[in-house]
Amino acid sequence: MTQPSQEVEQRDTEGGTPQAVPGTPHRRRAMTVLTSAQMLYYFGISIDLTLTGLAGLRLAPVPALATLPFALISVGSWAATYPASRFMRSRGRKAGFLVGSGAALTGGITSVTALLTEQFVLFCFGIACIGVHQAFAGYYRYAAADMFPPEERGKAISTVLSGGVIAAVAGPFLATAVKDLGPVEFTGSYALVTVLALISLGVLSTLTAEDTEAAAAAPSGPQAAAEDAAPRTLGQIAKQPVFLAGVAGSCVGYFTMTSLMAAAPIAAVRAGHSVHDGAQVIQWHMVGMYATAFASGPLTRSIGAGRTLLIGAAVSALGAATALTGLSHTHFMIALGLIGVGWNLMYVSGSALVANSYRPRERSVVQGIGEVFTLGGSAVGALAAGPVLDALGWESMNAALLVPLAVSAVVTVAHLRAARPRAAAQRTDP
């Protein structure tokens, strides 16, 4: 029996050639690098999420365009996510992750230049580059998951996401603390985004191909037979209940979170609260998003990804229901905090389900398709938040979000029902 610290051989995930699988020391190093890169990414994105709306208002030719740069984070991420997957399939994950950090570097420099020269279009381009970085950074969790067997993938994903806890607490404060350090307001903050991107490039450059390309163990038994079977079409993969549940959970979780994250500060100000109160709501929302990572992985491993996803949908629904009960600062804080917790549970468990839906050689395509839907939900939520808030109001907007959460829960229940006979068959195998 192979010891955990030894390297075993398995087929390359794309080409079918033998490849070394990282033992425990490789995993530890890779997990440290990926978690650090995730933390740096979250620091940078928290600065953009905190200040981009205000910077956009400063530069926009008309107030109606002030939220366009904020929306371009999600739109740029959605547009780049499948090309990012294809790029990493041909060039490797390390190359892709470096390209993503390079996009953040470009975005930071461009944003500073745009603020100094008061060019709104240039600022939009710089923020869109941050979206490209988000697209590549979205694959950090899959790089971690692919190093572990199926039952440990949820924990690996949550470990990487836990790098966002510090960023969630410190990022918004850091963003405002340095915004006046440059000659023009906000240039100090976006200069910090540039520095964080440079550090990220240095951290990610320490990854090796073995860290990011290999999986945890050689396939055996039914898994090995499936790997040797005829390649499946995308339609066959997409029809799997496990894939549908994972994509629906991640997409709906992101859609709900992004919609309310974009709308809450505006709704809070309209309800008579200060801008500082609105920023505090977002801060605690982000704490809920990332602090939950310490629990979501162990929970997924303990009760399964499907049941964890149902809990996440229920917590998100509770957050939306809380928003229906009042407009006090406390109501906003609790509602957005619960939405953040629900997002993490849905995102981690949904990602784990997607990671369990593909064979090793299918991973790049399936991960790319999954990210298109996940980040598509984020983009739609960001773009629709303002118009929907204006049309329906805060309470009705939250009530409407209960519908997609219910749909996600139904799809997840269908997956659990479909998985039950297979689990029973595995228990009865000699």
Question: From the centroid of its chain, how far is CA 87?
Answer: 19
- Owner of token pair 């366009």: 68
**In Å, how far are 168, 272, 310, 332, 397 from 284, measured between CA atoms?**
8, 19, 23, 10, 20
Question: From the centroid of its chain, how far is CA 15?
Answer: 28
pLDDT at 229: 56
pLDDT at 108: 95
**In Å, how far are 7, 247, 415 from 40, measured between CA atoms?**
30, 26, 35
Beta-strand relationship, 18-20 and 9-11: antiparallel
Give the chain's residues under pLDDT 50.
1-22, 214-225, 228, 425-430
pLDDT one-digit tens code per residue, 267-306: 888 888 886 777 778 778 888 887 887 788 788 888 998 9
Residue/partner pairs of 419-426 with CB below 8 Å, 24 or more apart = 419/241, 419/242, 419/306
pLDDT at 311: 96
pLDDT at 250: 92
